[in-house]
Structure formats: C-alpha cells, structure tokens
Structure 1
Amino acid sequence: MTVQDVDRMSFAEEWERWHRAHEQALADPHGFLAITSLHWLSPEPARFEDAPGAWSSGPEGVVVELADGEELTIDGTAVHGRYVFGAIAERDSLYAGYGDAVIEIAKRGGHDIVRPRHPGNPLRTAFTRTPAYAPDPRWVRGGRYLPFDEPRAITVGAVAEGLEHVYDAPGEVEFELADGGTFRLTAFNGKRPGSLMVLLTDATSGVTTYAANRSLQIDAPDDAGRVTLDFNRATNLPCAYTDLATCPLPPTENRLPVAIEAGERIPLERGGRP
C-alpha cells in the first residue's frame, strides 16, 4: 500500500466521522426532521393541532394564551395562562418545552413563526442516511478571501414563496477548479467566529444534488487571506428534506456553471438514489 493510498484512506475515514456527526445532528429528537408544521403568526390568535395555546404576533411580539390544563416549559420553568415571548430578532429562535416535544418560536424573513418539533415525526423516525459522493481529495481546493471594504447587505430569495432573507456579506471567496476555471462566491458569516459560509448551486443541482441550494462552511482565513474549500463537505439545507423550512437561495453569482460532483446528494426522502 502506497503513502498516497494511506492518505486517501485517512481522508475518507475523517470524512465519514464528520458526516456521521452531521447526520446525528440532523436526526436529533428535536432537529429539523422532527418539525411537524409551520405556522405564520398574525395579530389574530390561532390554535394549532400540534402545539398548546392560542398564538399571535403583535406590538408585544409573540404571545401565547394557554388554556386551563395547558402548559409550556421555558428555561426549566412551567408557565400557564398568558405568556409574552416578546420581539424576536431575525433568524433567532426560542424553544419552549411541551411534553417530549419542543415548540420553536422564530422570525424568518420578517415574519414570526411557530414550528413544533415532535420526536415521533415519521420523517425523523424513518430517516436512515443521506446519499453523498465518495469523498475525494481532488475536491479540496485552496482559495483566497477577498473582503469588502464594508459588509454588504445581500437580499436573497427563499424556498418559501414570497419570502426574502437579508444577509451581511463580508466578502468573496475566489478559487480555481482542476480545469483551470476561476470562480468567485459571495460569502456570508459562518457558524464560528471568523468563519465563512457560502450558498451555491452547480451543474449537478436538480440532477444528482438538491436543486435549490447546498451550503459549505469555510474555516476562517489565515493572515494571508488563504482559505480551503472542501466541497466534499457541501451539505443539504433543511429544505432538502422538508417543505416546512424557509431556507435561503444562493445569490445569482453563486450559481456555478460547472459540476461539483462532491458532497451530499438528493436525500432519499426526495427521491434520491442510494
């Protein structure tokens, strides 16, 4: 066995560990696969089959009116009657316990929503895995971060009709592919301080990968602005599995004309093939 073979095996094993952890988070008892409904709140109180109380959104923010015998748990404390969650920031979520379920209270695209998450949801209990391309080191590409003078507010569409999301973009990421093509992607802030995230589609989208979007997390640039794009870790967003998501679409410039045959493929739940 050559050193190159050993390196490829180590690369594949590391990817497998990462993907297992990623899928465990996806299939968490209160993760996205547990969502049973999506409710858009209005000033008129409304009751839902999978959540207690009558919910509304108005000058006080999100309010729930719990009837006699109904209870939510918030920060470990049982609450009854009228409870004011208050104003919720864009893309923030609050969670209230309800038996073995949680009720997500959030704001998306300027609208307050409620999304109950029940561990017994069939989408979650039937989940096995997400198909993915075999990990390949050739899809790890070096690149460079090109910061803007000031972050730019970028408006993108959403999978939910009529909804828009606004993200601050700190800069762009430039990289080359093996055929010599050079591309730039608008980057948003990532999950960790200093890290980046890009939303993208490519020539595989709608063919072998989910049509609307995939995302890629990128570690913080080094002092010289160098970054690494590991397309083997391009992942599906929640909307790839459920229609009860409000995922953003990539900005126009992030729709690549080439095939990125790496990362997660169309989920089995959407007709993807193993």
Structure 2
Amino acid sequence: MKKSIFVLLATAFVTLVSTNAQTDYVKEIEKWRSDEESDLKKDNGWLTVAGLFWLKDGINTVGAGPKFDVRLTDNFKQEKFGEINFHNGSATLKVESGVEAQSDGKNISTIDLVSDEKGKPTQIQTGSHTFYLIKREERFGIRLKDNNSEARRTFKGLQWFPIDESYKVMARFDAFTEPKEVKIPNILGGNFKMKSPGILKFTLKGKEYSLQALDEGENKLFIIFRDASNLTETYSAGRFLYADMPVNGQVVLDFNQAVNPPCAFTPFATCPLPPPQNDLPIEIKVGAKRYGH
C-alpha cells in the first residue's frame, strides 16, 4: 500500500514538473513572438520600407511624384527634395533650397552618402521619411522608409502555428576547417557572397536532415530554409531561423522561432533565398505562417 502511494506521488510530481516546464517554454515563445512583432512595427522597421531605387551614373533627382528618379511617398508635401550625384560608387546629396533635412540630428544641405557596404550608412531624414544608400553586388541604390507607410498603418499582426516543443531539436555542428565563402541566391536574381562556418545535422520526427549555416557576424548562426509547407501555408520563398553559436559541437534549433524574411512584408527588400541544400522535404508547421494568409 505504502509503495503504491509512493509511486502515485512520484508520478504526480514528475507530471507537475513536466507541465511547468512546458508552460515555461510556451511563455518563452509567446514573449519572443511579441518581441518579433514589436520589432517589425517599430519606427524605421521593415513595415516602413516604401521604395528601392537603383542609381544611374550622373544626376538622380529626388522628390514626390513619378517624374523623379528617387520617388518619396505622398507624405512628402514639397515636390522636389534634391539631387544625388552618383559616379563610380560615390554619391553626394544636395538638398533643395528651403527643404528641411537632417542626418544624425544635424541640418544638412550637402552631404556625401556612405553605403551600408561599409557598416552603418549615412541616413537622411525629412518628415516621416528616412533614406540611405545600399550596395547589392555591383549596384547602388536608395532604400526609402516612411514611418507613415500604408503597410505599417494597415498591419494586422503576425500569424503563427501552434507551439510544438518537439520541433526544438539538438543539432550536431560539423564545422569546416575554415569558414567557406558561398554564393547564396537572392530575390533580385543574383547571388550574395556569404560565409558558412559549417553544416547542421539533426533528427526530426525520426528522420535525419541537414542545413547549411551562415555567419552574419552577430554571434548567431543564420539559417535560410525552405520546406514543403511553403506551397500552402508559409512564405513561398522560405523562412529564416537564428540559433546560438555551437557549444561543444552542439546547436539548439527551434523551428518554433522560424520567421518570415523581410521580403514577405515589402517588395523593396533584397532578401537572400534558401540554397538548394536547405530545401527540406517535409512540412515544418511551426513558427510563422505566411503573412496575410
């Protein structure tokens, strides 16, 4: 009798501990989801991206309306903002007389634009607009953001699959002797050169899979993957997943934290796409659903 009572109490204790652990995990993922949405909605977040304009050699006009090379949104109430003189990768902005513009909190009239290729780009603010110079492969362009963009104003929230802790797996990290430079396809039709430190190998639902990891230099592994759910319920161009750096050759992959890339929210992003080897032949029905699905 005493033995039976002990077994029942032990079972109840184990069940309670397991339930509490599951509840803590769900709360952790729910908070992470809330933070993801807040980051998306913030000033100058991805919902504010309102344009991408590739620069031609010579003078590029900037203003509101179809006649300008770099077109601000209708929230810019003056017609012409200024001109960008671009030549051999160098860009200089000259602001139209009477137009207010700032960079790093200081009023400007003329300024050289440093691109994101060299770290933090020179950011130009006027009203609700911010724009800066980007480089993608051999092209230079202006990325425009508007904090009053329609996408931000009409955002209805992210949609997620139910949380399933069985999609949190331990992966073995097979490191390369030296990080490899790899070509990753992008949505522009070209390729980005990125660094891959190794391959992640893991078991999910009883089968073995592998994913190539990338290193973006932020002490995180970056994984771009596609799976069978992309045909129906998740973003067709794949999803992103981040993971902590390996510890003793092991990496935790939590597909509940799979997110949509920026190009799911704006046609003006320049997203990398999953390399062919990261195309998983199964449905990963956790993490972010297709936006607006």
TM-score calculated relative to the size of structure 1: 0.90
User: Helix, strand or coil: the match of 1:89?
Assistant: helix
Native 8 Å contact 1:91 1:108 kept in 2:
no
Identical-pair percentage: 26
Native 8 Å contact 1:27 1:124 kept in 2:
yes
Unaligned segments of structure 1, at least 5 residues: none
Aligned with residue 107 of structure 1, among 130, 135, 151: 135
> Pairwise mapping of residues 1-274 of structure 1 onto structure 2 (< 5 A)?
2-48=16-62, 49=64, 50=72, 52-59=81-88, 61-80=90-109, 82-86=110-114, 88-89=116-117, 93-160=121-188, 162-179=189-206, 181-190=207-216, 192-193=218-219, 195-222=220-247, 224-268=248-292, 272=293
Native 8 Å contact 2:114 2:121 kept in 1:
no
CA distance in 1, matches of 2:280, 2:218: 25
TM superposition shift of 1:174? 1.1
Native 8 Å contact 2:195 2:216 kept in 1:
no
Which 10-residue stretch deviates more, 211-220 or 89-98? 89-98
CA distance in 1, matches of 2:144, 2:98: 19
CA distance in 1, matches of 2:116, 2:287: 34
Native 8 Å contact 1:94 1:104 kept in 2:
yes
CA distance in 2, matches of 1:124, 1:42: 29
Q: Which has the higher helix share?
A: 2
Native 8 Å contact 2:199 2:212 kept in 1:
yes
- Over residues 5-29 of structure 1, what are the superposed CA-to-partner deviations in whole Å (9 max), with x where a residue is unaligned? 3222221111111111111111112
TM superposition shift of 1:144? 1.5
User: Helix, strand or coil: the match of 2:260?
Assistant: coil
TM-score calculated relative to the size of structure 2: 0.84
CA distance in 2, matches of 1:14, 1:231: 14
User: Helix, strand or coil: the match of 2:290?
Assistant: coil
TM superposition shift of 1:165? 1.3
Native 8 Å contact 2:115 2:133 kept in 1:
no
CA distance in 2, matches of 1:225, 1:71: 54
CA distance in 1, matches of 2:84, 2:41: 27
CA distance in 2, matches of 1:247, 1:53: 29
CA distance in 1, matches of 2:204, 2:119: 33
CA distance in 2, matches of 1:131, 1:73: 37
Native 8 Å contact 1:40 1:111 kept in 2:
yes
- Over residues 122-152 of structure 1, what are the superposed CA-to-partner deviations in whole Å (9 max), with x where a residue is unaligned? 1011112111111111010001211111221
CA distance in 1, matches of 2:190, 2:128: 31
- Superposed CA RMSD in Å reads 1.9
Number of aligned pairs? Answer: 264
User: Helix, strand or coil: the match of 1:260?
Assistant: coil
